[in-house]
Amino acid sequence: MSTLKLYDYWRSSAAYRLRIALNFKGIKYDSLPVNIAPGADEQFGETYRILNPQMRVPSVSLDGRISGQSMAILEWLEETHPEPPLLPSDPWERMEVRAFADTIACDIHPIDNLSVLAQLRTQFGADDNAVGVWYREWITRGFAALETIAMKHPGSDFLFGDHPTLAEVCLIPQVSNARRFNTDLTPYPKLLDVDSICRELPAFKAAEPEAVKPS
Ligand SMILES: N[C@@H](CCC(=O)N[C@@H](CS)C(=O)NCC(=O)O)C(=O)O
């Protein structure tokens, strides 16, 4: 089997999820940067569009096959590399972890995505200030719910059980995005505690945007 290729962008929080999971499971991969920064726009170029018609990162490719969508890729990684696990063994708890992760991946991240922000500017004339207000609004609403859920396990270092799961894999990149857009995170002390504990773990540390930023 050849080495897994990750179509990656250092600042993409969806790609950051995969870097964490790959490091956590000790899976070797080659990172192939796709520069999605406004102005570079490599995701829209012919070369990448053929690989991923949705024109987004991340994608993974292995043995001539390619797939996008970070949550589907995370599930595939869990199925093909079950150890160490990123989901609990109990089905109800697995559902709770997925529900937490999906709050970020389905309800917060998509409406704060680069192309949505660009559309706010071009279609509705939003300026930097308006875009920032929009961005923070969806994080604030989502994090308020996630803090309440997280407080069900107040004494634990992690969100569900005694090790990180897909919940942390999605949370830590989203907290990083929130900081980048100057979101007030003081109302979410449990999420911040989990964030600071995870960011000390080697798998999370090595996946951070600043750690993988091209020089
Ligand atoms: N649901 C997708 C979202 C992927 C996504 O939106 N990626 C962003 C970067 S975090 C992107 O490529 N944006 C490019 C654009 O909006 O043009 C996933 O989880 O993989």
Q: 114 alpha carbon to ligand 1 midpoint, in Å?
A: 8
Ligand 1 atom nearest residue 44's Cα = 17
pLDDT at 153: 85
To the nearest whole number, what is the mean pLDDT of the chain?
97
The two tokens of residue 116 are 């949505």
From atom 10 of ligand 1, which residue's Cα is the shortest distance away?
12
pLDDT band at 215 (very low <50, low <70, confident <90, very high): confident
Confidence of residue 84 (pLDDT cuts 50, 70, 90): very high
Provide residues with CB under 6 Å of ligand 1: 12-14, 36, 43, 56-58, 68-71, 105, 113-115
What number of CA atoms fall less than 13 Å from residue 82's CA on the CB side?
3
Collapsing DSSP to helix, strand or coil, 5 comes out as: strand
Q: How far apart are CA 153 and CA 155, in angstroms?
A: 6
Is the pLDDT score of 11 beyond 80? yes
Q: Which residues contact 60 (CB under 8 A, 6 or more apart)?
A: 4, 5, 6, 7, 18, 29, 66, 67, 73
Does the pLDDT value for residue 109 go beyond 90?
yes
| Closest residue CA from atom 2 of ligand 1 | 69
In a 13 Å sphere around the CA of 45, the CA atoms on its Cβ side amount to 13
Cα(113) to centroid(ligand 1), Å: 6
Secondary structure, 3-state, 35-51: CCCCCCCHHHCHHHHHH
pLDDT at 154 over 90: no
Using CA atoms, how far apart are residues 113 and 12, in angstroms rounded to an integer? 10
Quote the ligand 1 centre to 213 CA distance (angstroms): 17
Q: How far is the CA of 58 from the centre of ligand 1 (A)?
A: 7
pTM above threshold 0.95: yes
Average pLDDT over residues 12-35: 98
pLDDT score at 155: 85
- CA terminus-to-terminus distance, the chain: 30
**Residue 1 scores a pLDDT above 80:** no
**Three-state secondary structure string covering 40-102:** CCHHHCHHHHHHCCCCCCCEEEECCEEEECHHHHHHHHHHHCCCCCCCCCCHHHHHHHHHHHH
Of 15-24, 116-125, 147-156, the least confident: 147-156
- Tokens representing 118? 């660009």
pLDDT at 62 over 90: yes
Alpha-carbon distance 52 to 88, whole Å?
A: 31
Å from CA of 84 to ligand 1 middle = 26
Q: What is the mean pLDDT of residues 87-93?
A: 97
Look at the block and give the residue holding tokens 């192309």.
Answer: 115
Q: Calculate mean pLDDT across residues 193-202.
A: 98
